[in-house]
Chains A and B, each alone.
Chain A
Amino acid sequence: MDWQGQKLAEQLMQILLVAFAVGAFATGYVMGSFQMMMLIYAAGVVLTTVVTVPNWPFFNRHPLNWLDPSEAEKHPKPQVQQQTPSSSKKKSSGKK
């Protein structure tokens, strides 16, 4: 699962669970049936599990493309300034 997919999965999970909780409570209260509330909520939890837990293809639409090694060489990582100025000079001169 890619980064965008993880965000989507978490949001879907929260929205679905809260929506089913509110819907189940409202239905149960109006119908006067505690059992109906439990059944609707249980169905909601199962549905949310099926939608968000497995690694579905739609969670993998934004693959993270790593740079090629040659590309990395063209854009070198900025060097951290060393404590002693003499050693950093040596390093920079060595690379040139």
Chain B
Amino acid sequence: MHSFGYRLNVLLTQAVTLLALMCVIASLSDTLNVPSPSADVRVLHINWLHKQRNGNDEVSLTMNISADLRSTFTWNTKQVFVFLAAEYETEKNHLNQISLWDAIIPSKEQAKFSYHTINKYRFTDQGNNLRGQEYNLTLHWHVMPKTGKMFSDKVITTGYRLPETYV
């Protein structure tokens, strides 16, 4: 504490150490939040199901994706990344997981949403197994904090089936 430079050094070191501690406690405070999210995904229409030139099946869906993720937001939440994945099983692959749609929710006010949309990314199979295929639509989300630990969760909606013939 005898010189200007020494005092400045001590002050900055202590300030940054305390800041790190505050960030750790802020991250820990997120675990006190028990979210109760809800999600509902509906397939309104199957626009088409066809075989591509290279032999892979592709389907186009019109969906309504609605969810209320407001309870996942805390004071330490930067944004929530949400994506919808189609999941199904084929002989070749135990789990096929295809991302159909995604969004970034930047604030709590926008966390209750209802989107009427076609699939943003292509729903294409590795092969031609989509006819009559049963599949799940799973809404995944990742809660991205300002500091600390990231949380993720999902809601699985089961019991969808594609048509038996190409349409």
A interface with B by C-beta (< 8 Å): 1, 6-7, 9-10, 13-14, 17-18, 21, 24-25, 28-29, 31-34, 37, 41, 45, 48-49, 52-55
Contact = CB atoms under 8 A, between A and B. Distances in A.
24 contacts: A1-B2, A6-B1, A6-B2, A9-B7, A10-B10, A13-B14, A21-B22, A25-B26, A28-B26, A29-B26, A31-B75, A34-B26, A34-B76, A37-B22, A41-B18, A41-B22, A45-B11, A48-B15, A49-B8, A52-B7, A53-B4, A53-B7, A53-B8, A55-B4
B14 to A, nearest CB: 5
B136 to A, nearest CB: 35
State the main secondary structure of chain B at its contact with A: helix
A19 B26 CA distance: 17
B75 to A, nearest CB: 4
A86 B146 CA distance: 77
Contacts of B126: none
Nearest to B146: A34
A41 B1 CA distance: 23
A21 B21 contact: yes
